[in-house]
Amino acid sequence: MTDNLLIADLRREYTLAGLRRADLDQDAIKQFQKWFQQALAGKLTEPNAMTLATANKEGFPSARIVLLKGVDERGFTFFTNYESRKGRELTENPNASLVLYWPEMERQVNIAGTVTRVSREESALYFNSRPKGSRLAAWVSAQSEVIENRAALEEKLTSLSSQHAGEEVPLPPFWGGYCLNPSRIEFWQGRPNRLHDRFRYLRQADGQWTIDRLAP
């Protein structure tokens, strides 16, 4: 029989700050950029790490951590292997959700919307900015597929490294960026006694945002 892992006593109180309607920008993207700049200023560990939740055509969900690589008026951009599980699911069902959690600031942001691929030019621009080892690894890894062992990966990397010695590594046809265009963004600020502050932005047909306070 497996021992019961007691986690009920793992508890913290949230006391750093509150969030008022008057604190918020009317534009959800600008509000996110404001919070993200504060996370950068706080020197948090990988403040751009975020959970990406997807679902296949049957509605079965999956989630993993990816890295946010851009935020602009279009939405939130990340890069990956198009043939991975998340890539296949986004092809079947483009609806997805992102969550960023910054425990040091007692904040989280929940984002939902529709995902589309960015242009090959934008993907190439980012791909070429990566370290060469990371570019080679994109070719080496058939992401999410079963492999025999780690040695097979390392042997393939060694072979490709020799093949591209002194050469640029081209962008793989199966690798690139996605942009999640948000229809909803929620900002959460921890508060004492679990009476957290939550504000939800909903995008309207004219592109403007409505803002509502939600119960914690």
Amino acid at 36: F
Residue 12 labelled as part of a binding site: yes
Catalytic-labelled residue, pool 20, 21, 194, 213: 194
Residue 120 labelled as part of a binding site: no
Residue 119 in contact with residue 179, Cβ under 8 Å? no
Residue 102 labelled as part of a binding site: no
Residue 14 labelled as part of a binding site: yes
Q: Identify any residues that bridge with 47 across adjacent strands, giving them in sequence order.
A: none
Residue 135 labelled as part of a binding site: no
Amino acid at 20: R
Residue 178 labelled as part of a binding site: no
Residue 109 in contact with residue 70, Cβ under 8 Å? no
Between the alpha carbon of residue 92 and those of residues 51, 53, 59, 173, 176, the distances in Å are 19, 14, 10, 19, 17
Residue 134 labelled as part of a binding site: yes
74 is catalytic: no
- Please choose, from the candidates 113, 157, 108, the residue with its C-alpha nearest in 3D space to the C-alpha of residue 132: 157
Q: Please enumerate, by residue number, every residue annotated as part of a binding site.
A: 11-14, 64-69, 79-80, 85-86, 108, 126, 130, 134, 143-144, 188, 194-196, 198
Catalytic residues: 194
Q: Please enumerate, by residue number, every residue annotated as part of a binding site for FMN.
A: 64-69, 79-80, 85-86, 108, 143-144, 188, 198
Q: Please enumerate, by residue number, every residue annotated as part of a binding site for substrate.
A: 11-14, 69, 126, 130, 134, 194-196
